[in-house]
Amino acid sequence: MKPHLIVLDLDGTLLTDQQQISAKTKKTLLQAKELGHQVMIATGRPYRASDLYYHELGLTTPIVNFNGAYVHHPKNVSWQHMHTPIDLSVVHDVVGSINSYEYENIIAEVKDDIYVHTEDDRILNIFNMGNPKITLGDLYTHLLENPTSLLIQANEANSVIIRDHLQAVHAEVIEHRRWGAPLHIIEIVRRGLNKAVGIAHVAKDLGIPRERIIAFGDEDNDLEMIEYAGLGVAMGNGIPSLKNIANEITATNNDDGIAKILIERLKLS
């Protein structure tokens, strides 16, 4: 069988609800690698919060972080990476325009550095993975370079209102996604970026055509990736809009949904 590129979202997909890779899924992925298939991660997380799983699977491929805003090769610094941040002027426009709405916090990330507008222990605990450099205080004062991503935290009802505003006012310069529960966070990256953009860059480098890409996801930041892949698979716990466009729907992230598809499609044991 010709080599396939297996693309894995992390939260709600590769990872169980306990933030672990199950034994069966891990075994299946390692077997696929042994047979010459390529395995990669495509996530909204920064690298510092995904490298644990990258190393656990012994990956040697590039990785897509920040939903395509940062595509790089952790084991090859000379690989042609892509870092496409948001222009600082756009960030100022967005932050200024949402001040009339109710939100809880704004966080900017520059690769692995974090800028938190308002000090909040819950936010700091979540973003502390990988021991990043954290700067607290007004973003207008402290954020002096173009960020990789911008995050807006608000309650569920206000998140919907703010996203409607972003779509109406800023759609020409940004893309925005929502995080799944328990935190209601809107993630913003530069216009035109998504996981599919990063995967296409990696697949071209690996010489694997689109029809031999198998991608797994569960949330709205996986929509373009699932549509782009030759075989786009929605997890059983995925959102309805993702299941509607997927080629297949598998079991949930807690029930080895990835392993089930790969065993069948790649004829693994």
In the chain, what percentage of residues exceed pLDDT 90? 87
**For 19-37, how does the pLDDT look when each residue is reduced to its tens digit (9 = 90+)?**
999 999 999 999 999 999 9
9 belongs to the catalytic site: yes
pLDDT for the residue 156: 86
Residue 122 has what pLDDT?
80
* pTM given for the model: 0.93
Q: What is the mean pLDDT of the chain?
A: 94
- Whether residue 75 is found in the same domain as residue 200: yes
| The pLDDT of residue 182 | 66
For the segment 164-174, the average pLDDT, to the nearest whole number, is 94
**Residue 101: inside a domain, yes or no?**
yes
Among the candidates 188, 219, 237, a domain finishes at 188
Count of residues for the chain? 269
Domain count, the chain: 2
Per-residue confidence band for 151, with pLDDT thresholds at 50, 70 and 90: very high
Residues 196 and 178 in one domain: no
* pLDDT at residue 130 greater than cutoff 90: no
Measured CA distances, 14 to 45, 85, 91, 117 (Å): 13, 26, 32, 31
The pLDDT assigned to 180 comes to 67
- 181 has a pLDDT exceeding 90: no
**67 and 92 belong to one structural domain:** no
Domain with 67 in it: what CATH number? 3.40.50.1000
Q: What is the number of other CB atoms lying within 10 angstroms of the CB of residue 192?
A: 11
- Identify whether residues 179 and 206 lie together within a single domain: no
Residues 109-129 have a mean pLDDT of 87
Residues 71 and 92 in one domain: no
Q: How far, CA to CA in Å, does 226 sit from each of 18, 28, 175, 232?
A: 24, 21, 17, 4
User: Model confidence over 189-242: pLDDT tens digits?
Assistant: 999 999 999 999 999 999 999 999 999 999 989 999 999 999 999 999 999 999
Domain boundary among 188, 217, 241: 188
pLDDT digits (tens, 9 = 90+) for 53-100: 999 999 999 999 999 999 999 999 999 999 999 999 999 999 999 988
> Can you give the pLDDT at residue 123?
79
Domain boundary among 131, 163, 188: 188
Nearest residue to 93 (alpha-carbon basis) of 22, 173, 175:
173
Is the model's pLDDT at 112 over the cut of 90? no
Strands 113-116 and 133-136: parallel
The number of CA neighbours under 13 Å toward the Cβ of 263 is 13
pLDDT of 127: 81
Domain that holds residue 53: 3-80+192-264
Q: Does residue 141 sit in the same domain as residue 229?
A: no
Q: At what angle do helices 23-34 and 257-265 cross, to 10 degrees?
A: 30
How do residues 240-269 score in pLDDT, each as one tens digit? Answer: 999 999 999 999 999 999 999 999 999 997
